[in-house]
Amino acid sequence: MHIDATPEDLAFREEVRGFLDDKLTPDLREATRLTSGVYSEFETAFRWHRILHEKGWIAPGWPREYGGTGWTPMQRYIYDSEAGRAGVPRLFSMGLRMVGPVIMKYGRPDQKAYYLPRILSGDDVWCQGYSEPGSGSDLASLQCRADKDGDDYVVNGSKIWTTGAQHANRMFCLVRTSTEGKPQQGISFILIDMDTPGIRVEPIITLAGDHEVNQVFFDDVRVPRANRVGEENDGWTVAKYLLEFERGGTAYATTLGATLAGARRIAEAEASGGGRLIDDDGFRRKLAAAEIAVDALQATEHRIMSEIARRGRPGPASSMMKVSGSELHQRITELAVEAIAYYAAPDQPEARVPGRNLDPVGPDHAVAVMPKYLNYRAASIYAGSNEIQRNIMAKLVLGLA
């Protein structure tokens, strides 16, 4: 990939910086700093979504005909880098990054016309109904049934670990529509309105104390058959296409760079053996190794961006990004815990509420360190566990059986 910036690119970078200076208010920055989870707190994420939508910058990855920005790969990279560095809120992106591209590829014209603008505007918030109790890595074994009844499917069963289901008004969902043949052959991809009678959302609170995930129960939930995307019993093809976007193609490296800069700032502020932690040889070595790994990841990201620009999809490289990005993120959050030492211990969720009016135990830069560490333990599990990603790479990249 050609990565020398042209004068136009530099002008674009100035435009992005100006926009971020103007719109990324101190309270939005503060909310992002205190976020431990994958997505920002809902109201914050939604506010930022609206700001980007108003500017026309909400969907850099989408083709222009559907409301994308039409940016070159270099412009996307510049935007992602500047946004990562500035610390923008993390959007609820399952509409933009997952079901949007699927609807573009497999949706009917009426589905595209209805759903895509609502994803862009933020009127629809999506959650992902793939995993079930007992069907995670072995997703094709899923049991949530959709039986035909007139013009509807009647859905019964349960989905688990559903991120953001408490906020979403729609779910894209894999259901079993046939038990004939191989398990993969009896799955369909349907779009469910979360207000439909018979749906119950139960929270699951994580070790970090966050409410991000849920279990969702379906009890005779009627879904119009017109809400199916793709052919009946061919949902596996659709599901796999979506997973490529879930696993890769995003700018991990700039976010990781910003997280690492946070760990460095802590080490600069904290004491160790009569001096500063940042001057401790052992810690500096670990920090430097992590910085090199972030740079290496960035180079890989450039290659993948160029692949997307050429082929329109990330392909199996998304598995590589998922493994490297999540493991590096875990390593960096671990370094931050090491740097903050015993101030990582207090459990003080109230100190992470944006605009709080109480003094935290320990320095302010400590409050989100342990929740981030705990939250990122899940990164090697969600979006397909890292062991499964390694299996995919072994098969598709290395050609092993």
Neighbours of 185 (CB within 10 A): 15
Under the criterion CB under 6 A, does residue 318 sit at the interface with ligand FAD?
no
Q: Minimum Å distance from CB 155 to ligand FAD?
A: 15
- Please count the residues of the chain: 401
Residue choice 44, 163, 319, 326 for contact with ligand FAD (CB under 6 A): 163
In one-letter notation, the amino acid at residue 34 is L
CA–CA separation, 143 vs 158, rounded Å? 8
Positions 193 through 252 that interact with ligand FAD (CB under 6 A): 213
Rounded to 10 deg, the angle between the 42-55 and 7-23 helix axes is 140
Under the criterion CB under 6 A, does residue 131 sit at the interface with ligand FAD?
yes
Query: Which segment (78-86, 130-138, 253-261, 360-368) binds ligand FAD by CB under 6 A?
Result: 130-138
Number of residues counted as binding ligand FAD (CB under 6 A): 19
Which CB sits closer to ligand FAD, 25 or 169?
A: 169
Which residues contact residue 71 at a Cβ distance below 8 angstroms, ignoring those fewer than 6 apart? Answer: 60, 79
Query: Which segment (114-122, 159-167, 283-291, 303-311) binds ligand FAD by CB under 6 A?
Result: 159-167
Under the criterion CB under 6 A, does residue 161 sit at the interface with ligand FAD?
yes
Which CB sits closer to ligand FAD, 228 or 247?
A: 247
Q: Minimum Å distance from CB 327 to ligand FAD?
A: 13
Please report where in the chains the tokens 């070790």 appear, as a residue: 207
Under the criterion CB under 6 A, does residue 96 sit at the interface with ligand FAD?
no
Tokens of 141: 């074994």
For residue 233, the SS3 value is coil
Which CB sits closer to ligand FAD, 55 or 395?
A: 395
270 among known catalytic residues: no
As beta bridge partners, residue 159 has 216
Q: Which residues of 186-202 are buried (b: 16+ CB within 10 A; e: fewer)?
A: bbbbbbbebeeeebebe
Q: Which of 41, 246, 307, 338 is catalytic?
A: 246
**C-alpha 350: how far from its chain's center?**
25
Neighbours of 364 (CB within 10 A): 11
Tokens of 108: 């009917």
Under the criterion CB under 6 A, does residue 348 sit at the interface with ligand FAD?
no
Residue choice 68, 73, 136, 257 for contact with ligand FAD (CB under 6 A): 136
Under the criterion CB under 6 A, does residue 19 sit at the interface with ligand FAD?
no
Residue choice 25, 137, 179, 237 for contact with ligand FAD (CB under 6 A): 137
CA–CA separation, 341 vs 354, rounded Å? 24
Which CB sits closer to ligand FAD, 279 or 387?
A: 387
Which CB sits closer to ligand FAD, 159 or 365?
A: 159
Under the criterion CB under 6 A, does residue 298 sit at the interface with ligand FAD?
no
End-to-end CA distance of the chain: 31
* Binding track over 164-203 against ligand FAD, x by CB under 6 A: ----------------------------------------
DSSP-derived pairing of the beta strands 170-176 and 126-129: parallel
Q: Minimum Å distance from CB 237 to ligand FAD?
A: 17
CA–CA separation, 372 vs 375, rounded Å? 5
Q: Minimum Å distance from CB 133 to ligand FAD?
A: 8
Evaluated on CA atoms 334, 261, 297, 72, the torsion sign reads positive
Query: Which segment (68-76, 98-106, 147-155, 376-384) binds ligand FAD by CB under 6 A?
Result: 376-384
Q: Minimum Å distance from CB 213 to ligand FAD?
A: 5
Under the criterion CB under 6 A, does residue 333 sit at the interface with ligand FAD?
no
Strand residues in 144-227 grouped as ranges (E): 145-149, 152-160, 170-176, 187-193, 199-205, 211-224
Residues with a known catalytic role: 246
List interacting residues with ligand FAD (CB under 6 A). 127-131, 136-137, 161-163, 213, 378, 381-382, 384-385, 387-388, 391
